[in-house]
Amino acid sequence: MKNKEKPNTLLVCVNRRLDQGMASCANRGSEEIAQALERGISERHIDITLEPICCLGHCSEGPNLRLAPCGSFFHDTTLDEVPNILDILETRCGLRSKTDPIPSEKRSSNKV
């Protein structure tokens, strides 16, 4: 991770291809990983927002995550790696105040 800009979003590919024979992140457990990361981010008050997305373009290396706007990727992610990823996120992103449950960049958004 060379870029020193503070990331504010963790993109998690949750794409599921209809053809089960084709590589896709959801077919390899990305939905469960996203849920575990969301829980950990909330419990640890990490100052980042998780955003499930359709594709990061590295299907054969999935499940894939990407820090944004920095661009650092996590490939071939497993549930066992979630605690380590949360440690990295906490170091890179810092913590929110425990009285501020919503990351600052999402306070005024009308996200559905």
User: What pLDDT score was predicted for residue 53?
Assistant: 97
Distance between CA atoms of 84 and 47, rounded to whole angstroms? 16
Instruction: Report residue 106's pLDDT band, with 50, 70 and 90 as the boundaries.
Output: low
Q: What distance in Å separates the CA atoms of residue 70 and residue 2, rounded to the nearest whole number?
A: 9
CA pair distance 55, 67, nearest whole angstrom: 14
**8 A C-beta contact, residue 94 and residue 104:** no
Contact 47, 98 (CB under 8 A): no
> Does the pLDDT at position 107 exceed 60?
no
pTM of the model: 0.81
Predicted pLDDT at 35: 98
Are residues 84 and 101 in contact, defined by beta-carbon separation less than 8 angstroms? no
C-alpha 20/C-alpha 9 separation (Å) is: 29
What's the confidence (pLDDT) of residue 6?
78
pLDDT per residue as tens digits for the range 38-96: 999 999 999 999 999 999 999 999 999 999 997 789 999 999 999 999 999 999 999 99
Sheet holding 49-53, edge to edge: 49-53, 9-13, 65-68, 73-74
* Residue of higher predicted confidence among 50 and 101: 50
